[in-house]
Structure 1
Amino acid sequence: MITRAFLSLTILLLLGTGVMPALAQDCCAQLACQEQAQAYAQRMIELLTPLGNSPADVAQRRQQVEALKRVNPAQYQAIAILFGELKSWAAAGPKRNLCLQEQITARASGPQLAGVLDWASHFVAEQPPIDPSSPEFCNVFAWQVEVNQGAVDAFRSSESYFLSAKTFVLAKTFGVKPGQCGGRTRLWLGGGLNYQDRDAMGLLAVRGEYRLKDLGAELATVGHLKYVVEPGFGFGPNTFQVLTGLGADLNLLQLQAMAGYQSRGNRYLLQLGAGYTFTKR
């Protein structure tokens, strides 16, 4: 099993040859690069060890991966993200693969190492697709619909009920290539209808989001907290509004609580909302 992994896994080709440490100096001799290799090696071991020994038959390995996607989609997603990152990281500098080899063998041995190498060879050969429903910000085509309700001038004599329905299209996720995840900032474009004071108003909106913190463990992330800012422009005079607040993405479900200012009568706005995201793979 371990021989097959050595032959097929690109990032482990020279493992155990005796020349690896010398060749790996370009990365491992640099502290920042070495720390990155250490982190990737640790993630690979943590993610692949629970899979156990890899079946020798390719079809059986694929069946096990499909079962993993159904039973533990968070772990599958973490594996997909890891090998997507490794592909870009290894191509960014010389000898990085060899430094990664050194860090893996320093942390695993025996049957554990054999299993990790076999599964790594599989995922290198068959790059797992990144699920666009990942809670990590992904650079994919997506759109969402949401409903918000709240109050304008809450706790004042001018208080009135507020309701809005909006739809957004993901315009850009910054810092990651198309199809990849792990970004921090993204931009949505959209619009909808506001209803207040027995009147409906069309609105165009731009929403910026910044991912603050992931929810769950590293290997079982279920969502994230985000900071949201959303300026909007209504159809009509004096109809500008800006909202800001916190939101949470739980897989494809979005929740948010925001406050803001509305130029229509110089009023302030409080709202709670929920939405759902649709993605195209």
Structure 2
Amino acid sequence: NYQSKGLKPALDVTNLTKSYSMERNLLGKVTREIKAVNEVSFQVFPGETLGLVGESGCGKSTLGRAILQLIQPDEGTILFEGNNLMHISRHALKATRRNLNIVFQDPYSSLNPRMSIGEAIMEPMKVHKLFKNRKERLTKAAELLERVGLTAQQMNRYPHEFSGGQRQRIVIARALALNPRFIICDEAVSALDVSVQAKVLNLLNELKREFGFTYIFISHDLSVVKYMSDRIMVMKEGKIIEIGNADEIYYHPQSEYTSKLISSLPSLASTI
């Protein structure tokens, strides 16, 4: 559908591979390795949410981190808005990260416990030299907190003073601070209670409509991925085994593995 509109992909991944050494012999030579990501290829189009689903250990989080160059892939190409992230300078990669951001599973570990949430939201603005001065950054941080459902009056508080759902909202506000075009959500709600998950998912969808983000939404829960996604990609043992329209994958899965994911996991449908 996105291709039929003539859109160029925002992200184009080709034959991406990342292996980890599992065993070495006495000489230090690798005797057994696991391919966490095994020749993975896919595209994500502007304004799309591509869901990435699979069981724990299938390689989906490794794939997300490899795209962002938080870990170095062994082979393949990652074209983001036409630039190959595998072969750009550190300076260019830093600039790219303004537009390509991530929201991790554990909001508490994403925040410095000794830094107020206002400072945490302003930190990426300072790193990327956004806004003229501290006053402008404070104004922006307050605006972002309000947008994610918190208040400017909470800016001087610390992460431990907030619930898990509130901390994830703070992490989302921090991701928004750079006004990115593309966000990878890596198990962004899986650590939260189901009722809180629904609220955070709805917030992410609101932000997508408001700001026109492109998302990769990573989760082990196919019902959550289906709710969020235009298309779904199913991953097993480092490989993509199925990709297609979200409704088609959910209601008419082609693989036994996908059918198993659907039947074995609880649904958020009653909560959302």
* TM tier, smaller: under 0.3
TM-score (norm 2): 0.24
Task: Please identify which structure carries the higher strand content.
Answer: 1
TM-score (norm 1): 0.23
Q: Comparing both chains, which one has the higher relative contact order based on Cα–Cα distances under 8 Å and sequence gaps of 6 or more?
A: 2
Larger Rg: 1
